[in-house]
A and B are shown apart, each in its own frame.
Chain A
């Protein structure tokens, strides 16, 4: 059992982790930059330490400062949240070597899954379907061209060290691939300091489906079903739901088995997510693994009743997963999460500033994870996510109706938010039918 957790993060996820610790009687330490002195996580934690100036590179990404803060406060564990240092294998390693418990997988697991080409190879070896493509990294553009002839166009080039769409290039024919190879190579070099590329068959209009898994140090691995994350723009998710309209019980069981196989092969421990592409014909393939808690974890919590942060803390403390062994976790009802960003809903550009008035919706089936309060200044230095509105209903229709009324009752003044965008998405016939893919936002924006 952990006694004092340092939260190496800020914003809503830091508040969410404090809530989990409090319910378990675990002490909390908040770290913050100079710009976050008045942030809610600092006010709510038992202790707080200022670790650096506003710039993330000098504060939330400063490994020495974070570890030092844990040492001076006597914390015995670090929860990295998501983003910042959450998927930094070196950070996990240094924390462990400093005698701290890293609330997440081992540095080796993070490293293995962080290399996308290696992760793809590991998934294939574990028996999880992967798209036709290169086995490991590409050696040259000729290598790419040769492979593409074999599997057929279109193909997509991806950076091994990648994420967020950078170092990614789509090619419909030989000429495009020849050209794309060089640009993707230099983009990956600039973005990640590693130009290694791999190649995959490109699936047109897939769904982005991910499986939540939990694995404890006693060898138990469970999956908690899927999250539908196809509503995204430039690889940034906008809203997520569970379950997916495209998945029946049989497919869920099959994908869940594949996800568990990958997790076992990686000797992975703690919470993680396996991302799949789901084609229109129902064929699925491994995309990548996220080795951390995710922004959209509450939708899984609402449909399964499992508190994922609590499970993370238990697992890190050496305890088994608290779900009864014989219980098959099945989604009940329907949950939708709306990411509310401080941004202009039309142009989708950031909109930092002071919150002059705040009134949150409540009532049945409404959960809000946020670090906002009236008078809070949304700083311009960090992610624009300011709140997550998560609604629950007995079925998708009830969740949609509830989501609409909760969005309408959500009052934030002083800054612009993405609430109007969510209301429009909810009114869209394609969204309402449940029949959509990752191209939804592209089509929506061009309407």
Chain B
């Protein structure tokens, strides 16, 4: 099951996040952490994040996945920006997300790049068919959600675009 240190880490993570409860079934055991239950006399820190603000993703994660150098603030949006300013391009199909036409090529679209409606942003491969996904808005790309070669679901967010 879990090591004591892992358990502590999990409890700490749940407590400091917006997540109300986590239930994990692993290696024949089941663990449930209720983040909202008063488990100690010390009140759990409440993350004061505006509900509308998009969750920032550590830039390092994208950099590792894509092998692309990413500027320090590339993965997150500017503070104070709300969802209303952003347009999300979602996956129209279930498949595998690719940022470039082949492993050696430059990505179709990078954070900070200006795109127009109709610009190819990425490929989602389903059953060996490469489906080019185009932007349906003009603006600046502020975030790429999946890592390269990562599976994506129908409706999953691929790009955030600040509409110009």
Contacts and interface: CB of A to CB of B under 8 A. Distances in A.
Interface of A: 34, 49-53, 59, 64-65, 67-69, 71-73, 98
Given A65-B154, A73-B151, A51 B127 contact: no
B156 A50 contact: yes
6 contacts: A51-B153, A65-B126, A65-B154, A68-B126, A72-B94, A72-B96
Contacts, number: 44
B153 A68 contact: no
A68 B92 CA distance: 13
A65 to B, nearest CB: 5
A64 B127 contact: yes
A401 to B, nearest CB: 38
B75 interface: no
Given A65-B93, A68-B94, A52 B127 contact: no
B154 A50 contact: yes
Contacts of A68: 93-95, 126-127
B164 to A, nearest CB: 29
A99 to B, nearest CB: 11
Given A65-B94, A68-B93, A68-B95, A49 B153 contact: yes
Contacts of A69: 94
Contacts of A64: 93, 126-127, 129
B21 to A, nearest CB: 13
Nearest to A94: B127
Interface residues of B, number: 13
Contacts of B153: 49-51
Interface in B105-164: 126-127, 129, 151-156
Given A65-B154, A69-B94, A73-B151, 12 more contacts: A34-B154, A51-B153, A52-B94, A52-B154, A64-B129, A65-B93, A68-B93, A68-B94, A68-B95, A68-B127, A71-B126, A72-B96
B146 to A, nearest CB: 11
A67 B154 CA distance: 13
Interface of B: 93-96, 126-127, 129, 151-156
A26 to B, nearest CB: 15
Contacts of B154: 34, 50-53, 59, 65
B129 to A, nearest CB: 8
A53 B94 CA distance: 11
Contacts of A50: 94, 153-156
Contacts of B96: 71-72
Contacts of A51: 94, 153-154
Nearest to A71: B127
B134 to A, nearest CB: 19
Nearest to B125: A68
User: Would you list the 6 A-B pairs with minimal beta carbon distance, nearest first?
Assistant: A72-B151, A68-B126, A50-B153, A50-B154, A51-B94, A68-B95
A69 B151 CA distance: 9
Contacts of B126: 64-65, 67-68, 71
Contacts of A34: 154-155
Interface centre among B95, B126, B152, B156 (most CB of A within 10 A): B126
A36 to B, nearest CB: 12
Contacts of B127: 64, 67-68, 71, 98
B155 A49 contact: no
A20 B31 CA distance: 24
A67 B96 CA distance: 12
B156 A72 contact: no
Nearest to A58: B154
Contacts of A67: 126-127
